[in-house]
Structure 1
Amino acid sequence: MKTTLLAGFAILALATAVHAAEFDLSPEQPARLKAEPNQEAIAAIPADFKFAAEGKFTVAVSPWDPPIATYATDGQTVVGADPDLASLIADSLGLELNLVATAWADWPLGVTSGKYDAVISNVTVTEERKEKFDFSSYRQDVVGFYVRNDSPIQSITEPKDVAGLKVITGAGTNQEKIILEWDRLNQEAGLAPVEIQYYDDSAASTLALQSGRADVEFNPNPTLSYSSAVSGDTRLVGVQSGGWPAKAEIAATTRKGSGLAEAVTIAINGLIEKGLYGKTLERWNISAEAVEQSQTNPPGLPKT
């Protein structure tokens, strides 16, 4: 896992050179890739599975931030890496994509009730969620450390590297759990405590980092990577699995026992094999989060 993350770190360091103009937020999405129907995946769809809308793959997505999912320039169309993957999976299943913007809190009921066939919206696999849902993994859950370009900090790979720093993170998140545990380990070792800072929005976080009120931001890597590439004001100095010390994966989520997960997993692996998956992640500057193979119901983060 450490080797994979270090390799991802190197890829992302290069990827942040991407110019802002390369991120297309238009509703038309002319660069979105298309896939041919995958007959193996289609054959794996259970004969008795009833799609939410006939002939369509209805997918819930929560438009929270680029590059994962956000609203296009028309303020209505949802675009990003997850919508692109949803489109490719729909193609592979021989279906038309019906993408539905959904509040994060609403997707679990929507999937269990059959309102949505799946949710593809940065959902992390956990053992608790596996009791109610099936999963088809498609990305590593990676969180990143970003600093201002002129920061003296060059690398953050272990707890001692954050001792005495002012670190921005999100309240109630996996990354907060990580930084709190790192701080506990540091203080047990007699090192300086971390000053953890919380902000309500990305603009406030950016201002704190650029003004020097904070040393580091530690949050989901896709969003910070995108922001770094667009602004050119920050740089990556380290990545960790969102489930540190355990491996965490992001997955397409379907109703438990519906049988659809296996078809989705086959579809994703077909996209990986044909290179469409890798090109889609590259398009949104998140190549470091690629998985080598999709798995149905991989090990999830343990119950807390």
Structure 2
Amino acid sequence: MKKKILTTAVFAVALLAPLLTACADPGTGAQSASSGAPEITANPVSEAEKAAPLRSKLNQQAHDLLPAAIKERGTLVVGNAPFTAPLSFYAEGNKNIVGSDPALAQLLADALGLKLDLQATSWANWPLGVRSGKYDAVISNVTVTEERKELFDFSTYRNDTLGFYARSDSKLGEIKGAADVAGKKIIVGSGTNQEKILLSWDAQNKAKGLAPIEFQYYDDDSASELALQSGRADLTFGPNATGAYKAAVAGKTKLLGLVPGGWPLSAEIAVTSKKGSGLVEATTAAINGLIKDGSYQKVLERWGLSSEAISASRTNPPGLPKS
């Protein structure tokens, strides 16, 4: 049985939309500059980011793979949609863009021996920006798909995952599959990929005679958090990046399980460049160098995303299939 719970505010929509559209086809994802960063009172990393920005050393092998035009220019122009913590968002005063994606962009530019030119864009505009040459690459939570591979090249840098989060003192065990959520009260976004996964799992459970999931929907993040903390809900299920950040900042929730964003298939997030531009070989080599020297892992640790780390960057791996 679905339990529909609605409130008047729209905070949750603004929070989740940029991440949910990360898997959308180019040109179809909607993201507005009005969708601000999550309203989290404390930011444990932005000051550290300013005081001690993470930097990396030149990777000569990766630099040598750069297209001649970018070498001569000496800059790496990166597009980024700064609207979702902890991936990318404006720090105090809307002056500086901080987050895991901008931090990775800086490390990548350093490794390539280039100066970073980070430019804010919207989700809807990044495909045209890359194809037109306005940006050398986009680093903005873009998932590899087979459709996108027709127009873009990819160097992977993070797993695309969804997370189950419970109250920090919850007695629930690890969630590995459908049977673990039978009979649970779960907060999920309506019309999202995670709802689709839960509906599939619920159907499996019912077919086996297990208790159904109680779906709960909120349009207000405060109401959602209150439901979880008061015990009216057992779990939330959504993009792991935002769940991990909130858990790190507030300390009121904990991770119980991860699910691939493309379930039942796995999916990866990647640096995105124009198809055939010649940049992808250099970016893949640079990311693998960052993984080897440990600076890549430091970025994910700083932003609470260690659970999404990859062991090696891949060039144009299999992507999510066309719908």
1:288 and 2:312 correspond: no
Paired residue type of 1:232: G
Shift of 1:50: 9.0
1:165 and 2:184 correspond: yes
Paired residue type of 1:294: S
Q: SS at the partner of 2:290?
A: helix
The aligned residue for residue 45 of structure 1 is 66
Q: 2:48 & 2:292 partners in 1: Cα distance? A: 28
C-alpha contact 1:27 1:77 (8 A) present in aligned 2: no
1:33 and 2:57 correspond: no
The aligned residue for residue 81 of structure 1 is 100
Cα 1:30–1:209 change in 2 (3 A) is: same
- In the comparison of the two structures, how many residue pairs are matched? 283
Q: SS at the partner of 2:124?
A: helix
Cα 1:154–1:168 change in 2 (3 A) is: same
Q: 1:170 & 1:74 partners in 2: Cα distance? A: 30
TM-score (norm 2): 0.81
Q: 1:257 & 1:172 partners in 2: Cα distance? A: 35
Runs of at least 5 residues in structure 1 that lack an aligned partner in the other structure:
1-19
1:299 and 2:313 correspond: no
Q: 1:201 & 1:262 partners in 2: Cα distance? A: 43
C-alpha contact 1:144 1:239 (8 A) present in aligned 2: yes
Cα 1:34–1:228 change in 2 (3 A) is: same
Q: 2:269 & 2:81 partners in 1: Cα distance? A: 14
- In the alignment, which of 1, 23, 28 is matched to residue 44 of structure 2? 23
C-alpha contact 1:148 1:235 (8 A) present in aligned 2: yes
Q: SS at the partner of 1:235?
A: strand
Q: SS at the partner of 2:94?
A: coil
Paired residue type of 1:45: L
Shift of 1:216: 1.0
Cα 1:205–1:129 change in 2 (3 A) is: farther
1:211 and 2:230 correspond: yes
C-alpha contact 1:157 1:238 (8 A) present in aligned 2: yes
C-alpha contact 1:120 1:253 (8 A) present in aligned 2: yes
1:148 and 2:167 correspond: yes
- Measured on the aligned residues, the alpha-carbon RMSD in Å equals 2.2
Q: 1:135 & 1:251 partners in 2: Cα distance? A: 6
Cα 1:43–1:297 change in 2 (3 A) is: same
C-alpha contact 1:167 1:197 (8 A) present in aligned 2: yes
C-alpha contact 2:145 2:321 (8 A) present in aligned 1: yes
Q: SS at the partner of 1:281?
A: helix
C-alpha contact 1:146 1:238 (8 A) present in aligned 2: yes
Q: 2:282 & 2:214 partners in 1: Cα distance? A: 46
Q: Single out whichever of 258-267 and 58-67 deviates more from structure 2.
A: 58-67
- In the alignment, which of 215, 218, 222 is matched to residue 199 of structure 1? 218
Q: 2:218 & 2:95 partners in 1: Cα distance? A: 27
Cα 1:214–1:133 change in 2 (3 A) is: same
Cα 1:256–1:50 change in 2 (3 A) is: farther
- In the alignment, which of 67, 73, 89 is matched to residue 86 of structure 2? 67
**Identity %, equivalent residues:** 58
Cα 1:233–1:27 change in 2 (3 A) is: closer
Shift of 1:190: 2.7
Q: 2:48 & 2:84 partners in 1: Cα distance? A: 16
